[in-house]
Structure 1
Amino acid sequence: MLELAQVHSEPVPALVESIVAQSRDEKFVPFHFWSEWLRCAAESCDVHDKLLALAHGLQSHNVRTIEGQTLWTDLPTLPWAIREAMDTLADVQKPTSFVNIHTFFARCATDGLVDTAVWAAVLCRELLEDDKVEQKDVYIAALDAWIQHGGAALYNHGQPHHTTSPICRAAPGFLE
């Protein structure tokens, strides 16, 4: 489906063409593609730019409808794959993968590809509210990645009254 070596070696247009061709087959499962896409992101930060370019390249193709969404324009099942990745790829016992996937989620939020800001909130809560968190240094490295790569998106680029991000919501009237 999608391998890290392939992402490293092939140009984005060739990857897009190959994936679009595969996705015309009714047996193609977008969730599996997104899971592999996220696995590549967790394995190496070196491919993050290319993975984002790949997703944007795919979005310009309307292949078919899946569960009421257009493949690829609507990025069907990507949010589900992201949720699943938090259970499978964001393992603090694998520090590099943990930091890489959070770095990629921060990049996705900043890029506007998909709203992943909730995972920054989850990360903060786990670190700040759980006294028994092990490997705090790994959590701090992941939070640092969020600040470096997604800080402006988390802070809504300094604009008030951001109501769509779970990280920036305030009680009604609080900011008025």
Structure 2
Amino acid sequence: EEEKETFYQKHGVKLTITAFIAQAITKALQSYPLLNASLEGDTILMKRFINLGIAVSVNEGVIVPVIRDCHKLDLPEIAKQIASLAVKARERQLHSLDVQEGTITMTNFGMTGTMIGIPIIRYPEVAIVGAGAITKKVVPMPDDSIAIRSILWISLTFDHRVLDGLYGCGFLNELKKLLEHIKDSSTKALPQ
């Protein structure tokens, strides 16, 4: 909590798990670029940019504003974009460009207490990442001791016409590794 307050004082925005997940997705896509492609007919279009859609719950359902060039942003900038787009979505202030040209989407249904979900892909995107609730679990440690750890459930829905399960699992394992080392994560933008 102290780190969150320090982050808020320094950057003027609340630090949430959604921002960390968004940054980790962006980093993992560097090794798994097929998940950032689109499918146009029978053609796979690879994207040189990452426009991350963030699902936002509104009274009428869900709307997905897009963080453009997310790969060029550091953690505070991602957090500010998420907060700003969520407010604009809930106040019906989004422009049409705010919800177009996403390359991959994430949804955080964990805010509702749901641990696991299977989100639906937004065509022509080929993947969507779902984040469930963070829960405390008893976990065996490498030295055979037992510890209580926070567990975050992550799901990935992807188009099998573009990639297979092994590739998707590789992405999830990379995402897991990045999220397990959040404190080691750089707050700098990704290299170009």
Asked if TM exceeds 0.5, the reply is: no
Higher helix residue share: 1
Which structure has more RCO (C-alpha within 8 Å, separation ≥ 6)? Answer: 2
In the superposition, the TM-score normalised over structure 2's length comes to: 0.25
User: Comparing both structures, which one devotes a greater share of its residues to strand?
Assistant: 2
